[in-house]
Structures are given as structure tokens and as C-alpha cells.
Amino acid sequence: AQKVTQAQTEISVVEKEDVTLDCVYETRDTTYYLFWYKQPPSGELVFLIRRNSFDEQNEISGRYSWNFQKSTSSFNFTITASQVVDSAVYFCALSESVSGSSNTGKLIFGQGTTLQVKP
Amino acid sequence: SQTIHQWPATLVQPVGSPLSLECTVEGTSNPNLYWYRQAAGRGLQLLFYSVGIGQISSEVPQNLSASRPQDRQFILSSKKLLLSDSGFYLCAWSDRRSYTFGSGTRLTVV
């Protein structure tokens, strides 16, 4: 069965610190997508990144970077020089294989990591 | 462009009352549709998904049901709400590569 584990329930940092949010996943699919979403206090889910299982290149977008390690089934998210506006719940998610006979495309979420950035 | 509408934004309902939450998608056809629930301080749990009109799959046994009467309409219902049904409900659609979420309904059962 597919599973996403975000072992860090809550993280608190001081502004300008770097912080890494961990994500470990389990799947038997050979083709899948990994996602990170941000959920601010208002509740909506803000899409941050999607990574195809075949693409292990790390990605950087401004202060955000992602480290995909297929060998350890991890997809960690780092925020550099954190800011108060980064305070939110962050979710890592795994989609079912979208190839072959599977057509459900279910998105399985981790339990989320609450990040608090203090001024 | 594709958009997803979900309403109402907030809802307070007494125990034992019925529920109907609606979600509609625009700008796409034959999307996969999903209902998720987030209990207070918890993660997102998949409740139902649909790959086509009239096709509903339930992920967890519960007091809720879902229906898809039209290609781009997904409805979450209950005949009698329980206190444990309180939570934040999110509708989503997918083209099997990307996912778009609605703004959510915060349901409080009192």
C-alpha cells in the first residue's frame, strides 16, 4: 500500500534560519508523482511542486529547494532564510501510478508538518 | 482555464441534520474528482473519488456518501450528521498529472 510519512509534526524556527521538512514515501508503482503543498491558516492548499519519479534532479525555486532521493524514497523540502510568511502546514503527497491500468490517480497525503517562523 | 468551485465556505449544522456539499469544475472534461476531509490538526484523508459519471469509490467506511450526477459535478452528502463529521472538506479535480483543490468548506456539527 502507498504511504507518505512526515515524521516532523511541528517545527519552530527563528526568521532567517534555514529549515528542512522531511518526507518519506512507500509505493510499489514504478511511475508516480510526488508533490508538496502549503496550507496557510485560511485553509486552501497552495501547490508548490510536482516531481515525476523519473526525474531525480533537485530543484530550486527562489528560497525553496527540493531534494528527491529515489534510493531512500525521500523527497525533502528546504526553505532557505525563512520568513514569517512561511508559517503554515506543509504537506507532502504521492499520487498513484498514472500509467497502465490504474486510472484513479489518488493523491495520498502525509500528516503534514506545521512550520512556525518567529520574528 | 480550469477552475473549481466549492460551496459553502462555512457551515454549522446540528447533529442529525442532513448535509449537501457541492463542487463543480469548469474548463475541463472527464476529470477525476475527489473529496478529502481534514479533521482539526490532522492530515488530509481521502473520502471518495470518481473517475466518471455515476462512478464513486469510497476509501473509508463512514456516515457520508458521494454522487456525481454530471461530468463536472461532485456532491458530498449525509442523511444524519454526527459530531465526528466536523472538519474541513476539500474537493479536488485531476487530469491524472496535476491536482487542483477547491477553497474548502469548514463544517462544524453542533
Ordered per-residue pLDDT tens for chain A, 119 residues: 789 999 999 999 999 999 999 999 999 888 889 999 999 988 899 999 999 888 888 888 899 999 999 999 999 999 999 999 999 999 999 997 655 555 677 899 999 999 999 99
- Structure confidence at residue A98 (pLDDT): 58
Contacts of B47 in chain A (CB under 8 A): none
For B95, nearest residue in chain A (alpha carbons): A105
DSSP structure string for B14-35:
-TT--EEEEEEEES-SS-EEEE
Q: Residue A99 has what pLDDT? A: 58
- pLDDT by 10s per residue, chain B, length 110: 778 999 999 999 999 999 999 999 998 888 899 999 998 777 899 999 999 999 999 988 788 999 999 999 999 999 999 999 999 999 999 887 788 999 999 999 99
B92 touches chain A (CB under 8 A): yes
- Asked if the Cβ–Cβ distance from A109 to B43 is below 8 Å, we say yes
Residue A112 and residue A89 in contact, taking contact as beta carbons nearer than 8 Å: yes
Q: What residues pair up with A38 in beta bridges, in sequence order? A: A46, A90
Q: Is B40 touching A (CB cutoff 8 A)? A: no
Residues 44-103 of A with CB under 8 A from B: 44-45, 47, 50, 91, 95, 98, 103
Determine phi and psi for A54, rounding to 5 degrees. -85, -10
B61 touches chain A (CB under 8 A): no
Distance CA B20, CA B78 (A): 7
Residue numbers in B near A103 (CB within 8 A): 32, 51, 96
Q: What residues have CB less than 8 Å from A52, skipping those under 6 apart?
A: A31, A33
Q: In the block, which residue shows the cell 459535478?
A: B73
